[in-house]
Amino acid sequence: MVNKLLMFLAYVAFFVLALMYFTPKTSLYYMLEKELKQYDVIISDEKVTDNGFSLSIDDATVYVKNIDTAILKELDIKLFAFYNAISLKDITLSDVTASFIPVKIKSVDLMYSIIDPLNLKIDAEGAFGTASGSLSISERKLHLDVVPSKIMHSKYKNTMRQLKKQKDGGYSYDKAF
């Protein structure tokens, strides 16, 4: 009885892993890109690579409403059955944003798990400092706890006014959408 249960679980695990490995991730990416185009978001000049269990996108340029918005050096998408993650590394924002935030972002990590299906976890690090928080899908609210860098305190005082000072010395940012 125990052997049959173990064999069943092994077959299920093998099937799930094989399904994840053989999913046409590149085709799904291009379908997502087509959907983003409806919102005037265009990703171009990217190099897309299917790595089996993940999808890598390198050297992508992001345009929003035909404005060069960001250059993403590395983007890694991991789609698993119970846990999904998107990692962005070495992001350079457009010079248009330089008046209210530093243009260099070292990394942004987005994580989604079925354990907490209504929230998307966010971690970011860059010249602005560090930020961590969540995006509530059901409430349509973004909450970030921010530890601003010295550059933020000295050069971006208007942006710092948008953050709420916390009792512990950090800052928070809340936005409903």
Do the beta carbons of residue 147 and residue 158 sit within 8 Å? no
pLDDT exceeds 80 at position 81: no
pTM listed for this prediction: 0.86
The average confidence (pLDDT) of the chain is 92
pLDDT exceeds 90 at position 16: no
CB count, 10 Å around CB of 14? Answer: 10
Do the beta carbons of residue 93 and residue 78 sit within 8 Å? no
Do the beta carbons of residue 61 and residue 73 sit within 8 Å? no
The Cα 73–Cα 106 span in angstroms is 10
Backbone angles phi, psi at 170, to 5 degrees: -85, -175
Name the strand (E) or helix (H) holding 18. helix 2-22
Mean pLDDT calculated for residue range 34-42: 94
Q: How confident is the model at residue 82 (pLDDT cuts 50, 70, 90)?
A: confident
Phi-psi map region of 53: left, alpha, beta (phi>0 left; psi -120 to 50 alpha)? alpha
Q: List, for residues 112-170, the tens digit of each pLDDT value.
A: 999 999 999 999 999 999 999 999 999 999 999 999 999 999 999 999 999 999 988 88
Closest-CA residue to 101 (of 75, 121, 124, 119): 124
The pLDDT score that the predictor gives to residue 61 is 95
Token duo for residue 3: 């052997």
Whole-angstrom CA distances from 70 to 59, 61, 92, 93 are 10, 6, 6, 4
